[in-house]
Amino acid sequence: MIKTKKRKILLLPGDGIGPEVVSEVKKIISWFNKKKSLDFQIEEGLVGGASYEKNKKPITDEVFYKALESEAVILGAVGGPKWDNLEFSKRPERALLKLRKELKLFANLRPAICFKQLVDSSSLKPEIVSGLDIMIVRELTGGIYFGEPRGIKPIENGERKGINTHVYTSSEIIRVARVAFELAQKRNKKVTSCEKSNVMEAGILWREEVQKLRDEEYKNIELNHMLADNCAMQLLRNPKQFDVIVTDNLFGDILSDEAAMLTGSLGLLPSASLGSKDKNGKMRSMYEPVHGSAPDIAGTGKANPIATILSFSMALRYSLDLNKEADILDQAVQKVLDDGLRTHDILSKGKKEVSTSQMGDAIISKLK
């Protein structure tokens, strides 16, 4: 019998509700191993505030090397007020930035989907958000979050000056735009590229490079350019005009959060951070829920695990080439929502409230 190499999945529970929601993913991975004869090998590590408490740093080299060796990384959440006053380099969020930068995870995929069972939870009218399905592709390793020079410096008159640098190269723009065009090919063949080319030279370069790539390689894709502030307005006015949105690190951070709230169910939204494929076809990746660590409800059983579970579904689809298994998991989530089960954050009249673990168990019961 030929032994196959087990596929390593690194679980990084993190802080707040992170350990609770990742625990439900762990149960689902075990189900797939047992019922579908898959070969996932689970490893775990500390990250964020949990790592700082033990190691005085937000991520250790040991955990980082585990991430390098994994097929996919599943992250819970990091951060909390407990660590807000730490020096910048030791804050929990620095672990995220290190993982994204060192793993070269340049494309962040943030779906904004309005689940039909929760359309009334949106702050917008049902007719505006019903059927909403947007994919936002955010560039993740360039722009103002990583540009140099940066820092806070004293100046001659006794004041201080804060400096951040917004910079992009052609290759950084082209590779993330290509991800957006490839996704659009499998969706509705429409891409909206967002920048601030009216006031920023980096925005002019962004617009030019995205247009050039479309004209040379993706002539069948409809490409629209939109200023980022207008996009923010249009997401509220007529969100269903969008299919795939591609934008830079800063604007992507803002627009994807706005789009997430259109759905009325932040606890259901996953995300994927993807890198380039190596010569063996292996792609480094990290998956995490859109929601934060929510320390105010940590340990109460109120956390919604669905976003983290759907993040694992994205890992099945994008990193592990297991589309069928991803479909099975997505359908199980839909069936549980159809049954009227709700965690506290999405509870409405006439529905049954369940705990974090009860929601995970209910989803497992629907897996076939």
Catalytic residues: 145, 196, 229, 253, 257
Closest CA to 364 of 112, 24, 84: 24
**Tokens 């629209």 label which residue?**
224
Give long-range contacts, CB 8 A cutoff, 24+ apart: 210-215.
Answer: 210/173, 210/177, 210/246, 213/174, 213/177, 213/178, 213/181, 214/177, 214/181
Phi and psi, residue 256, nearest 5°:
-70, -35
Q: What is the CB neighbour count within 10 angstroms for residue 63?
A: 22
Q: Hey, what are 325's tokens?
A: 């298994």
Number of helices and strands in the chain (H, E): 12, 14
Determine the Cα–Cα distance for residues 214 and 197; give it in Å rounded to an integer.
18
- For residue 163, give the 3-state DSSP assignment: strand
Rg (C-alpha) for the chain, rounded Å, is 21
Instruction: Check: CB of residue 124 under 8 Å from CB of residue 144.
Output: no
**Distance separating alpha carbons of residues 14 and 77, to the nearest angstrom:** 5
Q: What is the Cα–Cα distance from 116 to 27, expressed in whole angstroms?
A: 26
Maximum CA extent, the chain:
76
Residues 80, 82, 88, 92, CA torsion sign: negative
Which candidate, 173, 252, 166, 179, places its Cα nearest to that of 206? 173
Are 16 and 295 within 8 A, CB to CB?
Answer: yes
Before 289, cis peptide (omega within 30)? Answer: no
Instruction: Output the 3-class SS for 329-346.
Output: HHHHHHHHHHCCEECHHH
